[in-house]
Amino acid sequence: MSYTKSALLPVSPDEAFALITDPERLRRWQAVSAYVDLRAGGEYRWTITPGHVAVGTFKEIEQGRRVVFGWGWEGNPELPRDASTVTVTLEPTEGGTRVTLEHEGLTDQQAAMHAEGWDHFFERLERLAATGDAGPDEWAWAPEGLTPVVAAEAALAALQPVLRGLTDADRDKATPCTDFTCHELVEHFTTSLTQLGGMAGTAVATPDQGTLEHRVSTMAAQTIDGWRKVDLSGTMPGPGGREMPAAFLASILPLELALHGWDLAQASGQELRVSDEVVAYLREQAESVVPPGRPNGSFGDEVQPAADASPVDRLAAFAGRRPVEAA
């Protein structure tokens, strides 16, 4: 069984090719994180929505014209890596490029489920190509089965638009973390990602090129993948080598992503949009993560939020943060 989908994009074939293969562009319409080794025999790994990871191998690459790759889902024995095949062809047309996707090797049920998914994401692809912004993905908004890892992916999805909205003019602006300017906070944040990844046994590499969003997203994805491999039911060495519950240590990561996302949004006059469901989970985790003694380097004394504060603003207040305008 196969499924075919086409879209006419108002961009050149080379730009259309980049939209379907470049990690930074993929994160704007199809993926929370994306690893791409774009060559025949190279592998890809895309977190499509929090908790759902597509994996496979590239079979054929024709720059600007055609991509063929195996498709499957991590942890899914019914459709494992490379169990089906996706072929994407690009044809120049007047005013743009026709993108045609064919997904083969599916059962009837799998074809129906993937048709719904490709319809959803092709709509986002068309919106991105036409306007430059596909907007937040509602499928990533309130994932089911929240764990520290899934919550971290949801928090990363919420953080990415804020990172894209930062400009050079924001570098020296104050943040709710009073010790850091916007630029200094990003540097602190990436150091934290490296440390959290190391805690999970992962050496987090810093990309040597690309945008700020690409740098942070890539480092966050490496850190999240490290924690994905950890048995959260056990214990592991924490700061100072002391054995601590792995689930407790893992819970720090989604809070770092969400709270520093809030800090950066406040500093730059943006809004961090996180679903109430994810915020409620993060607040539950924060109850155990935030030290009872306060304050320390990450958490100040709890702040009284405004009466009309949103759930994510209330989470920030619990963590000791004040809105920039009220600081």
Contacts (Cβ under 8 Å, ≥6 apart) of 169: none
DSSP alpha helices (H): ranges in 42-181?
A: 108-131, 148-165
Q: pLDDT-derived band of residue 251, with 50, 70 and 90 as boundaries?
A: very high
Taking alpha carbons only, the member of 60, 63, 29, 59 closest to residue 46 is: 29
| Contacts with 167 (C-beta within 8 Å, 6 or more apart), sequence order | 268
Residues 154 and 124 in one domain: no
**Predicted confidence (pLDDT) at residue 327 exceeds the cutoff of 60:** no
User: What is the residue range of 307's domain?
Assistant: 141-326
Torsion of CA 322, 180, 218, 252, to 10 degrees: -50
DSSP 177: S
Task: Give the per-residue pLDDT at 209.
Answer: 87
The better pLDDT of the pair 14, 295 is held by: 14
Q: Is the backbone peptide bond immediately before 23 cis, with ω within 30 degrees of 0?
A: no
pLDDT at 295: 61
Return the CA Rg of the chain.
21
Let me know whether 103 and 159 are in one domain. no
- Is residue 174 domain-shared with residue 91, that is, in the same domain? no
Which residue type, as a one-letter code, is found at position 158? A
The residues, any chain, with a CB within 8 Å of residue 22's CB and separated by 6 or more, are: 36
For the record, the structure tokens of 321 come out as 């943060």
- Of the candidates 138, 159, 182, which is a domain's last residue? 138
Q: Of 16-25, 250-259, 301-310, which gets the smallest average pLDDT?
A: 301-310
207-241 pLDDT, tens digit per residue, is: 988 999 999 999 999 999 999 999 999 999 988 88
Task: Provide the CATH number for the domain around residue 157.
Answer: 1.20.120.450
How many domains does one find in the chain? 2
Q: Are residues 183 and 260 in the same domain?
A: yes
pTM score of the predicted model? 0.94
Which of 138, 158, 193 corresponds to the end of one domain?
Answer: 138
Which segments of the chain does DSSP mark as H helices, in order?
13-21, 23-26, 108-131, 148-165, 182-199, 212-228, 246-250, 252-268, 276-289, 311-318
Distance CA 30, CA 27 (A): 6
Structure tokens at 31: 């993926």
pLDDT for position 239? 82
User: What would the pLDDT profile of 126-146 be if each residue is shown by its tens digit?
Assistant: 999 999 999 999 999 999 999
Domain final residue pick, 92, 108, 138: 138
**What is the per-residue pLDDT across 173-208, written as a single tens digit (0 to 9) for each?**
999 988 899 999 999 999 999 999 999 999 999 998
pLDDT in tens, 95-116: 999 999 999 999 999 999 999 9
The pLDDT value recorded for residue 326 is: 47
Are residues 56 and 109 located together in one domain of the fold? yes
Mark whether 104 and 154 lie in a shared domain.
Answer: no
Task: Check whether residue 127 and residue 145 sit in a common domain.
Answer: no
Do 212 and 72 share a domain, yes or no?
Answer: no
Is 161 found in the same domain as 282? yes
- The length of the chain in residues reads 327
Clarify whether residues 227 and 283 are in a common domain: yes
Question: Residues 68, 156: one domain?
Answer: no
